Structure 1
């Protein structure tokens, strides 16, 4: 065979390896994806020209921390086993935010490949040190034997340095820089061995920090809060500490009550960063735990906060909270909210943080609401359309336990996913491109060109809370026929082996692209398909979103919506 003929033959064979005889791609090709959110609360509460919505980050963006340099604000959140780790956002006015990706974006340095979805990395702190013009992000990593780590940069827009492992235990660290240039780390920890008084008894510790060598100074650790505001009342889970200095005094703000229905934010004061810290008489300064469970537009679990001086010298606090659906289930996960803070008195107080939270706020003077425009992160009701034809995929698309770049490639026709030999139920990197659920009422739609080669091949969409709580809606093969099926994967009571059930399946013709849709109205989820892109057929009826809820499935994340492909399929059509 002549050289030119050989090259042509190889090219044709390569083409056929991706494309079937009838033109269908064997490698799953997703030609678009559309997320549309339409919550009633935003319809009932339209914005005036001087207002913006809270939460400012809808969906699973919990445990916010914030810092400021000049007119630039930077905010980070927890990401658990999602990749990249620790999403970071930038704003000039606390209203309009741009997504900068993830701080921990090198899989060689942060690799959550073998961790459950709620492990990985969480509860970050971010602080700007004016004395050396450096930003510090500190966090607890539950993977790769990292523990508590810190990373630094002169410019968060240009990436971060390598993680530096710190020699202390506990979780939820943050770093504080004093006026004299000294640094301190505060964090949650267990009481000394033998001194735990009750389940949930925790302490807050402080360490002196060596800025030159980036390490805590051995022997400087000290317990500065034992139990919480009043240990005689057995407060649980004092955590997420942040230290501030104002008018010569030191303030320590912490979450208390656990990240659930009793969650709150409390404040302490001292003349020294090493205490003693005295609780404010008016604690808590933020909570939603005292109100009727059936209140309208319910926001709950408020706490885990951080403070920053905002525009016009007005203080603001960012914090996590949840918006349960009509069944009181938490499918959007813990989200990032914001409130102005009144610090005109001795202690800061979240404005309207001790009454039922409202969905909108007055903007800082001089701000203009540009959310959802010109690259700014959207909130409220919105439609996000992705055609996958840009050289740079939007940062809101993420991987699980590994980088998305390991399995995706963009083409002129759309996004190809190279299937891993990993099932969605395994605690391994999965070839799934995820988007966070951000509304109670939403639709997530994608068009798929795909021809599975065997029963081991499946591609489609997933709604996932964790590896043992998810729905799979995809195309596979049985004998010579092609099927679309809906599989439910659920942990049994007290965990154990995941129980998988085929809720429905239907034989389909795949000569043309298939449009798949996940649709929800509160707790009611539907999985639909269309062969013409407009007329949808339901598969499996209406199913419960219970297993996609944080409080039912467990863990700390919200529901993730994914474009999924696998060569380790175990879902067999009936």
Structure 2
């Protein structure tokens, strides 16, 4: 009988740096959330392939201060582990500094992975980023992460450190060990391929300790490396086939998957091993605009070493299903009618909310946004509610009621990559009249620029942003049947990571603002619909 197969990515959209743990028959996965709030989305699965979001770990403003955090800073590379009935989350809060970023590492705990989770327990003296926890069978717990050495041999020279941690006091104890140093391998593999040793995770199998790391940066040179030792503190020997996974040897123009790396192994009850990792799906050449997504590949063991995607030298789009009973969840509805009192888990804000500018109860059945002075180009917290774009071809639309009372007030839809790259399709007031405007800011722009305008006589409009071929398209309608396309389309590459940089993909959502002015205007959204046309 032919085995059922699954298709990557198993969690589409920018859910990068996946970490996974098992509790009996259940699996839980977390991903980086950067400058968005709530922080650290958490997913549940019974078969490793089908996942349902069950919440966020950092869902209270008291847990996560993202005030003033720059683009692609915030929460980096969380690790989730389960031990003796307790779930542990360890991660990094990154902020921009004058010379280099400032990092602080912390732990949150919970008995139920759906929450509530504790407030952050900060780990004094834990350097660098990408911390992880390892629970040894002798009862000791080890914290490990990456850090910049005191005297780096080159700009991106990093090492992997290890130190015992007392979780009851939440402090590091005993000596600190360096268990992997990029400088030791620069001559063998090339300095560029040894950049940024990071994302360490430790495992134990057959009395060997295995260290999995990422290196090469998160772009084309990205790769996963494995080392092993009989002692947790080392010395560690390198896998004879390192890197155990990379796509940097494949042609950029024809490879359907780019940049695999930053992985986490998981063993099922049946003894199968798998690895979750980030990768990207290129579109329009080497460009990708969905960001780094969560992929899954099988792992085999041979001669005491793990082999990723055995039998092939690459990550595949499709693999045979794990040796687990398939468990599907109900499909997420395409349309959010805003008929609940809280937003669904797919929605998020830009940075931590410090006031209540949105409501699902002031006008039941509508999402109401209060127009505020904060703009999208600031490192602030604007009135913007967004969700990830998760498909290469998509359509997002909404019904909005808004009456701008003054110049500069606006509300509508936003396609957002960063504070320096976005589109706004908004109803505003221009020269005393209502106008639907398409405004862009792209990386080469010093300011926002209006690229299309049409005067309208209605305060109730239907808006749509979608893809047509390899271009973003912006449309509007008075009746949700006859749509008019604005005479301005843009190649999708304009919001790609290659062009814009950063660690996130694109978001689409609804927005209300007053461009620096105080106002009492509100925008009401009756529904929001997101449809993904296809994944590849």
| TM-score above 0.5 | yes
- Name 2:476's counterpart in structure 1: 529
Match of 1:343, SS state, is strand
Pairwise CA distance, 1:200: 1.6
TM-score normalised according to structure 2 size: 0.90
1:308 correspondence with 2:266: yes
Pairwise CA distance, 1:311: 4.8
Pairwise CA distance, 1:327: 3.3
Query: After superposition, where does 1:435-450 map in structure 2 within 5 Å?
Result: 435-450=387-402
Pairwise CA distance, 1:136: 1.1
CA gap of 1:283–1:385, structure 2 versus 1, over 3 A, is same
Any conservation in 2 of the 1:326–1:522 contact (CA below 8 Å)?
no
Any conservation in 1 of the 2:179–2:233 contact (CA below 8 Å)?
yes
Q: Name the CA distance, whole Å, in 2 between partners of 1:337 and 1:527.
A: 31
1:567 correspondence with 2:523: no
Match of 1:552, SS state, is helix
Query: After superposition, where does 1:221-370 map in structure 2 within 5 Å?
Result: 221-227=176-182, 230-232=185-187, 233-234=190-191, 235-295=194-254, 298-352=256-310, 355-368=313-326, 370=328
Match of 2:270, SS state, is helix
Q: Name the CA distance, whole Å, in 1 between partners of 2:134 and 2:324.
A: 30
CA gap of 1:149–1:305, structure 2 versus 1, over 3 A, is same
- Name 1:43's counterpart in structure 2: none
With 222-231 and 301-310 compared, the bigger mean Cα shift is at 222-231
CA gap of 1:439–1:309, structure 2 versus 1, over 3 A, is same
Any conservation in 2 of the 1:288–1:354 contact (CA below 8 Å)?
no
Any conservation in 1 of the 2:290–2:392 contact (CA below 8 Å)?
yes
- Name 2:497's counterpart in structure 1: 550
Q: Name the CA distance, whole Å, in 2 between partners of 1:211 and 1:402.
A: 28
Q: For 2:119, which of 159, 162, 168 is the aligned residue?
A: 162
Pairwise CA distance, 1:299: 0.7
Q: Name the CA distance, whole Å, in 1 between partners of 2:379 and 2:487.
A: 27
1:510 correspondence with 2:465: no
Any conservation in 2 of the 1:53–1:359 contact (CA below 8 Å)?
yes
Pairwise CA distance, 1:353: 8.6
1:540 correspondence with 2:487: yes
CA gap of 1:220–1:70, structure 2 versus 1, over 3 A, is same
Q: For 2:107, which of 145, 150, 154 is the aligned residue?
A: 150
Match of 1:99, SS state, is strand
Match of 1:412, SS state, is coil
Post-superposition CA distance 1:217-249 (Å, at most 9, x none): 1x5111111116723132211110000001111
Query: After superposition, where does 1:14-93 map in structure 2 within 5 Å?
Result: 50-93=4-47
TM-score normalised according to structure 1 size: 0.84
CA gap of 1:389–1:507, structure 2 versus 1, over 3 A, is same
Considering fraction of residues, name the structure with more strand.
Answer: 2
Pairwise CA distance, 1:544: 2.6
Post-superposition CA distance 1:295-350 (Å, at most 9, x none): 16x11000000011125221111000000112321200000011111125411111
1:184 correspondence with 2:110: no
Any conservation in 2 of the 1:90–1:97 contact (CA below 8 Å)?
yes
1:204 correspondence with 2:163: no
Q: Name the CA distance, whole Å, in 1 between partners of 2:497 and 2:358.
A: 28
Q: For 2:370, which of 418, 423, 428 is the aligned residue?
A: 418
Gaps of 5+ in 2: 97-101, 518-536
Q: Name the CA distance, whole Å, in 2 between partners of 1:275 and 1:231.
A: 19
Pairwise CA distance, 1:113: 2.0
CA RMSD of aligned residues (A): 2.1
Pairwise CA distance, 1:447: 1.1
Bigger RCO (CA 8 Å, 6+ sep): 1
In the alignment of these two chains, the number of paired residues is: 504
- Name 1:101's counterpart in structure 2: 55
Any conservation in 2 of the 1:341–1:349 contact (CA below 8 Å)?
yes
Q: Which has the larger radius of gyration?
A: 1
Any conservation in 1 of the 2:300–2:310 contact (CA below 8 Å)?
no
Pairwise CA distance, 1:540: 3.4
Q: Name the CA distance, whole Å, in 2 between partners of 1:427 and 1:498.
A: 15
Pairwise CA distance, 1:150: 0.8
- Name 1:25's counterpart in structure 2: none
Any conservation in 1 of the 2:122–2:170 contact (CA below 8 Å)?
no
